[in-house]
């Protein structure tokens, strides 16, 4: 077993006119999965910096980080323990352009995103984000 892998990401969201929200989910062609943007921390980078950078690199979106969501913990494909710290991110700018890591981005209502997301951890993050909007 190797050294712990640290990563960070965000659940990009934007408000809808009816008071609800929609979230951005990304498709990674290499893994053929639907998830939220995330990636490894670079040397000297904080988790918050990495989360903002990864969302910008993968999804072309930017905005302030909001509430920190629960971390994901699992073994990566090389058998190393991996911890991903997550934040909610209200998107205030940017535009998606397909790139080497992400070939498609979809803005979806929560129920549609829940059906599309590949991983149970991501569906749990979505539920946690939605809980933050309930009175």
Q: Cβ neighbours of residue 9 under 8 Å, at least 6 residues apart?
A: 36, 37, 38, 39, 51, 54, 55, 84, 85, 86, 87
Q: What does the alpha-carbon distance between residue 26 and residue 116 come to, in Å, rounded to a whole number?
A: 10
Please report which helix (H) or strand (E) contains residue 54, including its range: helix 47-59
User: What span, in angstroms and rounded, lies between the C-alpha atoms of 105 and 29?
Assistant: 11
Say yes or no to pLDDT of 83 above 70: yes
What digits encode the pLDDT tens for the residues 8-44?
999 999 999 888 899 999 999 999 999 999 999 999 9
Smallest Cα–Cα separation from 73: which of 115, 120, 37, 26? 120
Per-residue pLDDT, 114: 96
Instruction: Return the pLDDT at 19.
Output: 84
Strands 81-90, 5-15: pairing is: parallel
Query: Residues 6 or more apart from 134 whose CB is under 8 A from it?
Result: none
Q: What are phi and psi of 97, to 5 degrees?
A: -130, 125
pLDDT at 29: 95
Q: What is the pLDDT of residue 65?
A: 98
pLDDT value, residue 27: 98
Question: Model-level pTM?
Answer: 0.93
Instruction: Round the average pLDDT of the chain to a whole number and report it.
Output: 95
pLDDT > 70: what percent of the chain? 97
Domains (ranges, CATH) in the chain? 5-133 (3.90.79.10)
pLDDT digits (tens, 9 = 90+) for 55-77: 999 999 999 999 999 999 999 88
């Amino acid at each position: 077993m190797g050294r712990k892998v640290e990563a960070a990401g965000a659940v990009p969201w934007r408000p809808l006119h009816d008071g609800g929200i929609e979230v951005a989910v990304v498709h990674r062609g290499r893994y053929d999965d639907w998830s939220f943007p995330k990636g490894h921390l670079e040397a000297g980078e904080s988790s918050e910096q990495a989360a903002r950078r990864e969302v910008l690199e993968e999804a072309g979106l930017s905005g302030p980080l909001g509430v920190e969501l629960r971390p994901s913990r699992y073994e990566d494909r090389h058998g190393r323990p991996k911890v991903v710290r997550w934040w909610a991110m209200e998107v205030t700018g940017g535009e998606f352009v397909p790139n080497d890591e992400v070939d498609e981005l979809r803005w979806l209502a929560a129920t549609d995103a829940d059906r599309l997301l590949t991983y149970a951890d991501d569906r749990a993050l979505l539920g946690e984000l939605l809980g933050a909007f309930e009175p």
